[in-house]
Structure 1
Amino acid sequence: MRHLLLWLAAGLIWTGVQAQQTQKPPLHGKNWMAVTGKPLAATAGAMIFQRGGNAVDAACAMLAATCTMWDVLSWGGETQALIYNPKTGKVIAINALGVAPTGATPEFFKSKGYDFPPEYGPLAAVTPGTAGGLCYMLAQYGTMSLKEVLAPAMDMASGYPIEAQTANSIERGKKYIQQWPYSKAVFLTHPGEKREAPEAGEMFVQKDLLATLTKMVEAEQEALKKHKNRKEAIMAAYDRFYKGDIAKEFVRGCQEQGGLITLEDLARWKPIEETPLHVNYRGIDVYKLQEWTQGPMLLQSLNILENFDLKAMGYNSPQYIHTLYQTMNLTFADRDFYYGDPYFNKNRAIEGLLHKDYAKARAKQILPDRNDAAAGPGDPYPYIGKTNPYLHFLEERKGYMDTTNGRKPGGFVPKHDATTFRAGTDQLYAQQAADSAYHDRLWRGTTSVEAADKDGWVVSITPSGGWLPACIAGRTGIGMSQRLQSFVLDSAICPFNVIAPGKRPRVTLTPSMALKDGKPFLSFAVQGGDTQDQNLLQFFLNVVDFGMTVQQATEAANINTNQLWLSLGGSKVSDRMPRPGSLLLNSNTPEKTRSILEGMGYHLSFEQRTSGPINAIYLDRKHGTLWGGSSNHGEDYGIGW
């Protein structure tokens, strides 16, 4: 009752959305909208639209440009996409995530002393997926040739004025880059000088990458000369990348530097077109990729939050923050244990995890007046008439999360890793605000690509992988992915996500789409590792429950929980452990709200901007127009017409 009174006293009810000023203006268009992580990449999308391409063509051009600009990804990374096809009225999903290579086993990495696969270098790489995903999307749903769509990226590979963000990232990561000869040759343009990376505004040339993209276009054009159709010609470029001379040089360069990827690994890999998962929230159908991503965590959260009157609580009131935080803790606990490559496990839990009755049961577990430091995975199997085959692992986890035996709630530590654990959770709390390494792992980036056109095509992509400092594979100019680190080596952490050759790791990457009355309503995505679905969830609630415009929602202050297992970074279990009660708030959070939350057991940290960076498109059915939103958080940028 005391906390209820304090909540009411705080009086933080969201009112007057029209009065809320945004730092960036909303974008408007009647014909098309292109939003992505870099201004030049948004321009690439606009160029394709102006030449008559559809949203898929433009999205592929933006994807190619962001890879070429190393916008926390490269051509050797992975691509995840949702596409609304107006011809069928359906949302489809593209799974262009690479797989673990031959020899990538738990035993291999344990023998090298790892608790998780490494963060950087050739041993962190899954097979490249972005090139194949781009070719597949363009061939199946685009209208233009690969030559046309890659033209902006190829122009950039021949030389473009590099921006400060990327140039400085190269300089910060040069201790790694210096270890890899092909990366060193590309990135360290001033060897031996105090600053070896390019300067902002300097022309950055990537001859090897340009040669690789040229080979792909040549393969397409040769196929067209042989009277192949557009789709077949694009897939000829695909084949040259994954089975031809590009593949051979990629594998040679990878293995020369100690990597595991083989020619057979590349030849066997294929992108997959899937049926996305979805739930209905207050009359809106929300779509996410399957549980090889963390995307269903947002769907689970919506199912739980549907049991609460969020609008009555008030935007970012203590009650709202508490309810949101507890909900995310429950759904992240499920993510951490039940999500993984669905093609490798027949005992999928996702149907139960998305069951409305399961959500109601989880909602009842939320403590009304304090943080639940021991929140753990639920048991979704009874909701689909099955018995949970992993109960023994859940029981083992409970022992580690039990705070009644004198241990601090610091997270589960598997038996084989117990010697790597370092006690002192209180010290973790104390250093949290200054723990830049931890927050780098939490927020580790990607980019997002959003496109929509007047004919009804809508695209949401969250590509990633091969970010700086990247290890380039031979003379291909292609940075290898670092996504292998998202696997675990022990079934007790997550029985669905144990590394195995040919398997996809569970990724944080999570494009989003929502339909209302069967028509596109919102397309949205964000970068930021484990924070992605946290921020996208709040963006969606900002629009649906609090009536914000799409630009207001991208800039609005969000919260983040750290009570989850990190998906990226760190070589030891202690690097990735959950931090119970750790709560990130916006610096403008009122003192009264801070006091109430601290009284509920939260450990607070603050940032000036906690909004994303989110990119989004709102399809205005009333006026027949497009709204673009692009967060004020980073370099994200949009163009509409």
Structure 2
Amino acid sequence: MKHILTLVILLTTTVSAWAQQTQKPVIHGKNWVAITGKPLAATAGAMTFQKGGNAVDAACTMLAATCTMWDVLSWGGETQALIYNPKTKKVIAINGMGVAPTGATAKFFKSQGYNFPPQYGPLAATTPGTPGALMHMLANYGTLSLEQVLAPAMEMAAGYPMEAQTANSIEKNKDLIKQWPYSKKVFLTHPGEEREAPEAGEIFVQKDLLQTLTKLVEAEREALKKGKSRKDAIMAAYDRFYKGDIAEEFVRGSKEQGGLITMQDLANWKPLEEEPLMVNYKGVDVYKLQQWTQGPVMLQTLNILENFDLKSMGYNSSKYIHTLYQAMNLSFADRDFYYGDSYFAPQEPMKGLLSKAYAKQRAGLISFDKNNPAIGPGDPYPFEGKKNPYLKLLKKRGFEMDTTRRNFAPTHDIRNGSSLNEYQENLLLGTTTMEAADKEGWVVSITPSGGWIPATIAGNTGIGMSQRMQSFVLDESINPFNVVEPGKRPRVTLTPSMALKDGKPFLSFAVQGGDTQDQNLLQFFLNVVEFNMNVQQAAEAANFNTNQLWLSLGGTKTDDRKPKPGQILLNDSTPENVRNELKKMGYILSFDDRTSGPINAIFFDWKHGSLWGGSSNHGEDYGIGW
């Protein structure tokens, strides 16, 4: 009996060596699962499912709710989504990224003394994309009315109890908020007092936003009364936002505070449906949005890693960490130079970048004895039968790589005086995600952002303007595909993910965290595929971050954005022998007990006909299943 017990213990240890007991339970659902960045918003998604809505309806409801709750985004931000349509058995990509407004040129920003567009204020704003993307998704793939989907958000705008994290973020940023009159009016509910922001649990009322949402519902109702179809009625609300009185007030409020957005900019913008990019990793088809996001960087990295036996290295061994770090650096170097808005010339060499042959060539550059601080962009053009037109520019490019220590917290979450010690607090404030799936087979993965606190609110709309202009560059030597110009989309970090196996949904997953998003999602995916973790174990598992890349968000000077070669953020649980081995390879180590933004994910259990939801223990993210 003793020998049998010993064998059981040994087997259990082998299986669970990297899959420990989780702090939060798996979410099991037979009919649906809804997960997002705030408990109240997840509840709103559940309410929508209970009304008979599908996963698209629920995802749109959660999107509206999180925007209203300022979950490091607002209604003036941007939305990126992947949708699996069970009727066509295809993955659809939704491009809800706003564009640079009239007058937003490299020359203009350089004349203002910037090396990158600003982080905050009206000049940081692209056109709002979230309202249009939400209404497009709902009209084309949902089943409910806009009024039904907006109902929870409208109730929240009329007054909801604000959680401590958002309330404290407002207080920390009140000096910036005071620069913008409409933001001050909304956010600082106790002007002149020692604490001017709302308190935790205080009922936070947004009258202007409620009026804006009411106008959208009114436009839908009026169209329905005239006999318009459900879809056309939703698009009537869309027109009121982008071409009607809401647009007029948004533009007036933006211009009053120094912004560039015009009525023509809003009228010309529209959400786009696109073909997602995909690679196959060991029998799993992994989908990402196109190269106006950083999403393809994960696809490139998977192609590189396919050349190695990761499982034999062992989860988070020094060799495993080193291999992933080097592979990610190779892919991020390409991201930093070659990714941009595909609707503008020049055309990005994505066929070459995503080819298996190119990945094999890049994999051959990895040395297993030390970090390579000089990794740069490769040449993918020969892999699509072309000559690289940027070879001279690549030689000219060559900023010094500063190896000094830098804060690893997601840049748009850094508050005044923030340090590495505040990394966990910053993660709690991160850009939200939403995952939804239903028994009919609809699956939605969304990573929305923009308009986070401290946001510039546009006039009396109650809508916070985006800050995504900062993801453009002004110098083509950094990236000739991502230089700002009017009507163009910046190359963003926001990157929902979806994976299919045997032609059926396998995983739907997303995370917050700026440049760390595809780093964390890559490790989550490998946790499931290579190390057999369940979706909750994979979401909570320790991972690491590299800073050997150009920052997509942050300061307005080149020095603020430069790569930091060899810098690595490791989890506190990293064993001493792994730390020592990495130091010998030339790594500069930092540590924290949270090394990932909150990962939200759904796993599809076809054996039992059920859904498994995962929502990591790294933030306020929350899921509900039924």
TM-score normalized by the length of structure 2: 0.95
Q: Is the 8 A contact 1:442 1:529 kept in 2?
A: no
Offset of 1:347 from its aligned partner? 2.8
Q: What residue number does 1:125 align with?
A: 125
1:413 matched residue in structure 2: none
What residue number does 2:274 align with?
Answer: 274
> For residue 242 of structure 1, what is the aligned residue in structure 2?
242
Pair 1:171-2:156 in alignment: no
Per-residue Cα deviation, 1:379-424 (whole angstroms, up to 9, x for no partner): 0000000011111111112x546xxxxxxx43xxxxxxxxxxxxxx
Which residue in 2 is equivalent to 1:7?
none
Partner of 2:106: 106
Matched position secondary structure for 2:265: helix
Whether contact under 8 Å (1:511, 1:525) holds in the other structure is: yes
Q: Give the whole-Å Cα distance in 2 for the aligned partners of 1:380 and 1:620.
A: 38
1:313 matches 2:298: no
SS in 2 for 1:342: coil
SS at match of 2:209: helix
Q: 1:496 to 1:445 in 2, by over 3 A?
A: farther
Query: Is contact 1:14-1:315 (8 Å) kept?
Result: no
Q: Counterpart amino acid of 1:392?
A: K
1:442-453 pair list within 5 angstroms: 445-453=430-438
**CA displacement, residues 106-145 of structure 1 (integer Å, 9 cap, x when unaligned):** 0100001001000000000000000000000000000000
The counterpart of 1:620, out of the listed 588, 605, 614, is: 605
User: How big is the shift at 1:612?
Assistant: 2.8
Which residue identity does 1:334 align to in structure 2? D
Check conservation: 1:251, 1:263, Cα contact below 8 A. yes
Is contact 2:18-2:315 (8 Å) kept? no
User: Which SS does the other structure have where 1:280 is aligned?
Assistant: strand
Tell me if the contact between 1:611 and 1:631 (Cα under 8 Å) persists in the aligned partners.
Answer: no
Per-residue deviation at 1:311?
Answer: 0.3
Q: Which letter maps to 1:509?
A: L
Which of 533, 551, 572 is equivalent to 1:548?
533
In the TM superposition, what is the alpha-carbon distance from 1:606 to its structure 2 partner? 0.3
Partner of 1:61: 61
Aligned to 1:429: 405
Alignment match, 1:223: 223
Report the Cα offset of residue 430 of structure 1: 8.4
Aligned equivalent of 2:440: 455
SS in 2 for 1:553: helix
The 5 Å alignment of 1:285-434 reads: 285-397=285-397, 399-400=398-399, 409-410=401-402, 425=403, 428-429=404-405
Residue 444 of structure 2 aligns to a residue whose secondary structure is strand
1:504 aligns with one of 486, 489, 497: 489
Q: C-alpha distance in 1, partners of 2:273/2:506?
A: 22
Separation in 1, partners of 2:364, 2:564: 23
Per-residue CA distance 1:507-540 (angstroms, 9 max, x = gap): 0000000000000000000000000000000000
Alpha-carbon distance in structure 1 between the residues aligned to 2:514 and 2:14: 28
> In structure 2, what is the Cα distance between the partners aligned to 1:393 and 1:205?
52
From the superposition, tell whether residues 394 and 437 of structure 1 become closer, same or farther in structure 2 (CA, over 3 Å).
Answer: farther
The CA deviation string for residues 323-361 of structure 1, in whole angstroms up to 9 with x for no partner, is 000001000000000000000024321110000000000
**RMSD, matched Cα:** 1.7
SS of 2:57's partner is helix
Q: Secondary structure at the match of 1:344?
A: coil
Percent of aligned positions that are identical: 75
Q: Matched residues in 2 for 1:335 and 1:242: separation?
A: 32
Residue correspondence of structure 1 range 10-29 to structure 2 within 5 A: 15-16=15-16, 20-29=20-29
1:225, 1:635 → 2: CA distance? 41
Contact residue 99 and residue 489 of structure 2 kept, 8 A: yes
Quote the offset at 1:431 in angstroms. 8.0
Paired position in structure 1 for 2:4: none
Task: Give the Å deviation of 1:14.
Answer: 7.1
Q: Distance in 2 between matches of 1:117 and 1:347?
A: 23
The answer (yes or no) to whether the contact 1:340–1:505 under 8 Å persists in 2 is yes
User: Equivalent of 2:452, from 462, 467, 470?
Assistant: 467
Please state how far the C-alpha of 1:569 moved relative to its aligned partner.
Answer: 1.2
Q: What amino acid sits opposite 1:639 in the alignment?
A: I
Instruction: Tell me the amino acid that sits aligned with residue 267 of structure 1.
Output: A
Q: TM-score, normalised by structure 1?
A: 0.92
Contact 1:83 1:459 in 2 (8 A): yes
**Do the aligned partners of 1:17 and 1:548 also contact (CA within 8 Å) in 2?**
no
Q: Residues of 2 paired with 1:105 and 1:571: CA distance?
A: 15
Gaps of 5+ in 2: 1-12
Among 455, 461, 464, the alignment partner of 1:476 is 461
In structure 1, the partner of 2:542 is 557
Alignment coverage as a number of residue pairs: 605
Could you tell me which of 466, 473, 492 is aligned with 1:488? 473
Letter in 2 for 1:302: L
Three-state SS of the structure 2 residue aligned to 1:452 is: strand
Aligned residue among 630, 634, 641 for 2:615: 630
1:424-477 alpha-carbon deviations (Å, 9 max, x no partner): x4xx23888999468989978311010000000000000000000000000000
Paired with 1:507 and 1:477, the residues of 2 have a C-alpha distance of 24
Q: Which amino acid aligns with 1:206?
A: Q
1:536-589 per-residue CA deviation (whole Å, 9 max, x = no partner) reads 000000000000000000000011000000000101111111000000000111
Cα distance in 2, alignment partners of residues 383 and 38 from structure 1: 44
In structure 2, relative to structure 1, the CA distance for the partners of 1:431 and 1:471 (3 Å cut) is closer
Asked if the contact 1:442/1:566 (under 8 Å) is kept, the reply is no
- Between 562-571 and 19-28, the greater mean CA deviation after superposition: 19-28
Q: Is the 8 Å Cα contact of residues 102 and 265 (structure 1) preserved in structure 2?
A: yes
Q: Would you say the 8 A contact 2:95–2:133 is kept in 1? A: yes
- Contact 2:333-2:375 at 8 Å conserved across structures: yes
Structure 1 distance, partners of 2:139, 2:182, is: 31
Shift of 1:216: 0.3
Q: Who is 2:185 aligned against?
A: 185
Q: CA deviation at 1:609?
A: 1.4
CA contact (8 A) 2:550 2:562 kept: yes
SS at match of 1:343: coil
- Aligned: 1:603 with 2:603: no
- CA 1:185/1:431 → structure 2, altered by over 3 Å: closer, same or farther? closer
Residue aligning to 1:144: 144
Ranges in structure 1 where 5+ consecutive residues have no aligned partner:
1-12, 402-408, 411-424
- The amino acid across from 2:443 in the alignment is V
Distance 2:125 2:406 in 1: 34
Mapped partners of 1:629, 1:19: distance in 2 = 14
